[in-house]
Amino acid sequence: MKEVLSGNEAFARGAYEYGVKVVSSYPGTPSTEITEHVAQYDEIYSEWATNEKVALETVIGASLAGRRAMTCMKHVGLNVAADPLMTVSYTGVNGGLIIVVADDPNMFSSQNEQDSRHYARLAKVPMLEPADSQEAKDFIGIALEVSEKYCTPVLVRSCTRISHSKSVVALKARNTPPIFEPENDIKKWVMVPANARVRHKIVENRLDKLSDCADTGRLTINPVEFRSEEIGIICAGVTYHYVKEAMPEASILKLEMVYPICFEKIKRFAEKVKKLYVVEELDRFIENELKAAGIEVEPLNRSVCGELSVDEVRKLFGKSVREPAFDPRQLPARPPNMCPGCSHRGMFYAIAKLKLFAAGDIGCYTLGLLPPLSAINSTVCMGASIPMAHGMDKATDGALARKSVAVIGDSTFFHTGINGLLNSVYNAGTSTVIILDNSITGMTGHQPNPGTGCTIKGAPTQKINFPKLLEAMGVKNIRTVNPFDPDECIKVLKEETAKEELSVIVTDKPCIFADRSVIKPPFYVDVNNCSGCTICTRLGCPAILWNKEEKRAFIDETLCTGCELCVKVCRFNAIHQRG
Ligand code: SF4
Ligand code: SF4
């Protein structure tokens, strides 16, 4: 049977067909849907972990116990999982262990554009890169086979275009999953220095074997399509399709294992073509590997920033490109914005009103940086807000702590915020931390987390109570506020930032997608009362618009969720509810 699947659906199908038993992941665009689709297969235990490090450590445990296991994450998530990755490379595996990592060239929803291939080299583990949905599914099988044959975790690299585009996939039944006896081998699994020194040599030996393609157990890996002796192109992943369409006359060596590189095969290919090129997205990873191995590569004037495309590849080789029917830059800008009725908006309004410096974090609330709120001043990575505010506090002997806050969401707090807060408690920080608890992981598409009271499958589970958790962590000043009451937010912010002690303020209103019951009848503006003061428009609610002719606000009632925030800021009794 065949189906049209996205790359992410195909990765999940691969986990099903090739007998994966455990999948543990943290959501991150563009990888999120893999685990969401895995959750639909009852044969696989799946879970959202609190972060990528925990997820990888969980699947390492599953592998040790003798079952096939997989974790999925976005590129920046691999940074969080890097610690166990470096050492599981040494321990090796028992049941097959794969890590699917989805890069985001052009940064459609990421804070950097890092190239995960470097992690394969750093961790000395093999990396496979599929070029479409069929390969996304098939490569899970190959990766598990390589993992078990070579006793290594295997990285499988995706990117936004592979994860989110769709192509035809031939489906098969689920294989009978191999079951290995749980391992109790101290020399293999306890990485004290004496054991790790021995394992390091095994890792180096493993890399040598892996770079010999013929020894991978799959003769078709790294296939060559020979056409012309004039130009030979080495490419991998989605760039294979760009090259094939843009350069139909060229010979192609499609690298399916991008690390370690099979130099012998490439040398043979290079000998058959007059000019050898490497076409790859982001860093010059393959190109530099080839040059270091003494293989001559023709230069290409390619940027290491952003995505490639068929037209970009044509341009690289001096070919003409079709003029676009219109210039996309002429389209009206549609900047991202918090949803109408978002429970974060009121707190950001209060932060902006008090002109506080806000050390922000990763999540929907990052959008508080955009005008008209303009209420976020820094965003670095998951969990950075609290330690950054702590650092500003210590650097200025508390002076900046009186004028700043750290802002973090519930899922991000569980991810890596807890550690930062513990550090502030332990080191007598005096900053003010705001946990915007909307009971969901919003930005990646509303996944449950430890604060929502349900699992990935919707089954009820323990719900973490923030005030109790904070109390147990040693926080003395804990306040809970209603983010839809800006006056209350301003009052509490003033009180807590003034204290020369650590404070945590928790907002406790759910995301409108987490709890639809919070949606109420819409509001409208009574133009007779509206003074045109524009305060309500400064909330940045997409439902509040401005009538230029009449110089009055009006509300798009199809968007309004009835959150009442605008009613609370209007001083002229101009906003009323329908019904
Ligand atoms: S806050 Fe009230 S008075 Fe001011 S523009 Fe909005 S609706 Fe009109
Ligand atoms: S009540 Fe006001 S702030 Fe809330 S969604 Fe409606 S228009 Fe926006």
Cα-to-centroid distance, 180 and ligand 2 (Å): 57
| Pick from 554, 570, 565, 561: nearest CA to 521 | 561
Cα-to-centroid distance, 124 and ligand 1 (Å): 61
| Per-residue pLDDT reduced to its tens digit, 550-577 | 999 999 999 999 999 999 999 999 999 9
Cα-to-centroid distance, 559 and ligand 2 (Å): 8
Ligand 1 atom nearest 532 alpha carbon? 5
pTM attached to this predicted model: 0.94
Cα-to-centroid distance, 522 and ligand 2 (Å): 7
Give the number of the ligand closest to the Cα of residue 552: 1
Contact yes or no for 476/397 (Cβ under 8 A):
no
Residue from 524, 525, 539 whose mutation best tests the ligand 1 pocket (most atoms within 8 A of CB): 525
pLDDT in the model for residue 81: 98
Q: Measure the CA–CA gap between 266 and 121, rounded to whole angstroms.
A: 18
Query: Tokens at residue 253, please?
Result: 């060596």
Judge whether residue 381 has pLDDT over 80: yes
Cβ of residue 572 lying under 6 Å from some atom of ligand 1: yes
| Per-residue pLDDT reduced to its tens digit, 120-137 | 999 999 999 999 999 999
Residues with CB under 6 A from ligand 2: 340-341, 523, 539, 541, 543-544, 555, 560-566
Cβ of residue 512 lying under 6 Å from some atom of ligand 1: no
User: Looking at residue 573, what DSSP letter applies?
Assistant: S
Ligand 2 atom nearest 555 alpha carbon? 7
Contact yes or no for 446/457 (Cβ under 8 A):
no
Nearest CA to ligand 2 atom 6: 560
Cα-to-centroid distance, 573 and ligand 1 (Å): 8
Cα-to-centroid distance, 212 and ligand 1 (Å): 71
β-strands 22-25, 2-6 pairing? unpaired
Residues whose CB falls within 8 Å of the CB of residue 506, separated by 6 or more in sequence, listed in order: 434, 435, 437, 466, 467, 470, 478, 479, 480, 481
Helix (H) or strand (E) holding 455: none
| Per-residue pLDDT reduced to its tens digit, 362-372 | 999 999 999 99
Residue from 524, 527, 531 whose mutation best tests the ligand 1 pocket (most atoms within 8 A of CB): 531
pLDDT in the model for residue 335: 80
Q: Over the range 84-99, which residues count as b (16 or more CB within 10 Å of their CB) and which as e?
A: bbeebbbbbbbbbbbb
Judge whether residue 217 has pLDDT over 80: no
Nearest CA to ligand 1 atom 6: 536
Query: Tokens at residue 84, please?
Result: 């166990």
Residue 256: which pLDDT band, with cuts at 50, 70 and 90? very high
Q: Measure the CA–CA gap between 75 and 117, rounded to whole angstroms.
A: 10
The distance of Cα 132 from the centroid of its chain, to the nearest Å, equals 20
Ligand 1 atom nearest 575 alpha carbon? 7
Ligand 1 atom nearest 525 alpha carbon? 7
Contact yes or no for 12/38 (Cβ under 8 A):
yes
Q: Measure the CA–CA gap between 74 and 36, rounded to whole angstroms.
A: 14
| Per-residue pLDDT reduced to its tens digit, 80-99 | 999 999 999 999 999 999 99
Give the number of the ligand closest to the Cα of residue 535: 1
| Per-residue pLDDT reduced to its tens digit, 224-251 | 999 999 999 999 999 999 999 999 999 9
The CB density around residue 268, as the number of other CB atoms within 10 Å, is: 12
**Between 329 and 170, the higher pLDDT residue:** 170
Contact yes or no for 146/153 (Cβ under 8 A):
no
Cα-to-centroid distance, 521 and ligand 2 (Å): 10
Cα-to-centroid distance, 304 and ligand 1 (Å): 48
Query: Tokens at residue 472, please?
Result: 């147990």
Contacts 24+ apart (CB under 8 A), 323-330: none
Cβ of residue 530 lying under 6 Å from some atom of ligand 1: yes
Find the range with the poorest average confidence among 39-48, 184-193, 261-270, 330-339: 330-339
Considering the chain, what is the average pLDDT of its residues?
95
Judge whether residue 323 has pLDDT over 90: no
Residue with tokens 């495309």: 309
Cβ of residue 510 lying under 6 Å from some atom of ligand 1: no
Judge whether residue 115 has pLDDT over 70: yes
Collapsed DSSP state (helix, strand, coil) of residue 175: coil
| Pick from 165, 162, 84: nearest CA to 119 | 84
Do you know the residue count of the chain? Answer: 579
Nearest CA to ligand 2 atom 2: 566
pLDDT in the model for residue 325: 82
Cβ of residue 574 lying under 6 Å from some atom of ligand 1: yes
Contact yes or no for 152/126 (Cβ under 8 A):
yes
Amino acid at 501: E
Where do the DSSP E strands lie in 376-453? 404-409, 432-436
Amino acid at 190: V
Cα-to-centroid distance, 278 and ligand 2 (Å): 53
Whole-number Cα distances in Å, 116 to 74, 95, 225, 291, 489 = 9, 24, 26, 20, 41
Whole-number Cα distances in Å, 359 to 14, 149, 363, 415 = 40, 47, 13, 17
Mean local confidence (pLDDT), 182-202? 96
Cβ of residue 545 lying under 6 Å from some atom of ligand 1: no
Cα-to-centroid distance, 574 and ligand 1 (Å): 6
Mean local confidence (pLDDT), 440-461? 94
Cα-to-centroid distance, 492 and ligand 1 (Å): 25
User: Looking at residue 252, what DSSP letter applies?
Assistant: E
Q: Measure the CA–CA gap between 160 and 308, rounded to whole angstroms.
A: 12
Query: Tokens at residue 328, please?
Result: 């996309």
Q: Measure the CA–CA gap between 30 and 163, rounded to whole angstroms.
A: 6
- For residue 6, list its beta bridge partners: 166
Residue 3: which pLDDT band, with cuts at 50, 70 and 90? very high
Amino acid at 380: V
Q: What is the DSSP string of 235-258?
A: EETHHHHHHHHH-TTSEEEEESEE
Cα-to-centroid distance, 410 and ligand 1 (Å): 32
